[in-house]
Structure 1
Amino acid sequence: MEKQEDSGQKTASGAGITAGVIVLFLFLRILAVSDWNWQVAAEIADSFNFDDAISIAFGTLFERPDLTGIVITIVLPLVLFRVFILARYHGSRGSLTDWLLAVSLVATQVVLVRSFSLWWPVIAPVVLAIVLVIVYMLLKKRDTPPWFTQLGKRAGAIMVAALLVLATTVNTPWSPEEIIVTKSGQLQGYVLENTSGYLRVLTTDREVVIFTNADVISRTPADK
């Protein structure tokens, strides 16, 4: 009975931490998109839809492939190292989370190579993983420092920290940039909210403006 209660408490604690990380990530994204202007951030948050949290998270990764490559270079070797240690010395094949994270990162590597011909996010993690294993094997003959054997367990925490860093550095909004022609003129910006009768837009100058649908003549994707 006590074990069931402990398991339930751990699950609840894990869910609470995850929710906290998501809220912090979204908060930092809003601040970064607003160019760290509190008033603009408040106006963006006013039209924010938490149902878009997943698409915002993925959009952050896709917006900066170079930073995503750095995340892969750091996290993937730790995951592979953890799986190797578990399989080699503990008779375990790793958890489902380990394998899902590894597969996701490898799939991202494939996309980066095909889309941008970025090979370093593929080569660097493999090299670092091999280095970690070699160092571990050498230290295994002596007295392996506890912090070194725990490296693999830190992959999840490092992944979270990397996402939070991305949230603060990527200032591009989660919606595509558009050229919006209205009866009062033309502007470029990002549509934050399109409700019945109104269009809320974040301009490239980081100002939030609101138009009625009757004022909007056309909306076209901006050429990048």
Structure 2
Amino acid sequence: MKTGTERETGTTGWQTGLSLTGAAVLFLVLRLFAVTGYDWDTAFAVADAVDIGDAPSVVIGTFMADPEITAALLMLLVPLSLVHLARLGRPRWENAGNQVLLVVELVLLAALVLGLRMWWAGAVAAGLTALLGMLVLGGRKGRHHRLALWSVRRVGPAAGVAVLVMAAVVQTPWVPRERIETTSGPVTGYVLEVEPGFLRVLTGGERRFVTIDTADVTGRGDA
């Protein structure tokens, strides 16, 4: 017979898995609508070209599609994550999720700073970390301390909301923009599916979803 603790642990794991699945589905739905300008018919057509195996590339591509929005979110999330882990003390298995979240955030921030020369993003994140650390760990109590502590304790939900906000507002798809030369003229857009005999492309301007016969393609390159 299972003990109360075992039943509670099993229920919690089931609920967590269900919540993560729901969040993943919501993320993909938001991405489909965002990249198609919230046009129902086009989003429905694009959905046919995206399967569950594309999820990792969709997530990673979303963060890379709009560096400015990614930088703005990281400037808020990195300080929250750093101060949160500082409060928890030495690394433990129980806070492994927070550690992984922080590593991902730092890798993305480092890529923006070193790769795209967004030094201001690193500077702001460092400044906010110092300020937040002073408010939370400095020992002084008060309204600002309580507000900062409340924010730090909710870094997990904040990260989840941030990812969903990005999914909803970033209109650039998760693949590079291309110029496709065809026998009937160039097509500029995003190749979302490549199958034997045809390409399925989301055009860059009016966001139409078109199918191009590969026999008509004479060249492809960056737009």
User: What is the TM-score with the length of structure 1 in the denominator?
Assistant: 0.87
**Counterpart amino acid of residue 208 in structure 2:** E
**Higher mean Cα deviation, 25-34 or 107-116?**
107-116
Shift of residue 62 of structure 1? Answer: 1.1
- Long gaps (5+) in structure 1: none
Matches within 5 A, 1:36-75: 36-75=38-77
- Aligned alpha-carbon RMSD (Å): 2.2
CA deviation vs aligned residue, 1:84-130 (integer Å, no higher than 9, x gap):
2222xxxx545122222222222222211111221222222222222
CA deviation vs aligned residue, 1:143-177 (integer Å, no higher than 9, x gap):
99766534323111111111111112211122222
Identity, in percent, stands at 31
Partner of 1:219: 220
**Counterpart amino acid of residue 32 in structure 1:** A
Partner of 2:119: 119
**Counterpart amino acid of residue 35 in structure 1:** G
Question: Match of 1:185, SS?
Answer: coil
Partner of 1:108: 108
Shift of residue 190 of structure 1? Answer: 1.5
Partner of 2:20: 18
- Long gaps (5+) in structure 2: none
Question: Match of 2:140, SS?
Answer: helix
Aligned length: 217
Runs of 4+ with >4 A deviation: 142-148
* 8 Å Cα contact 2:178/2:221 also seen in 1: yes
* 8 Å Cα contact 1:81/1:129 also seen in 2: yes
* 8 Å Cα contact 1:73/1:125 also seen in 2: yes
Distance in 2, matches of 1:64 and 1:195, equals: 28
User: What is the TM-score with the length of structure 2 in the denominator?
Assistant: 0.87
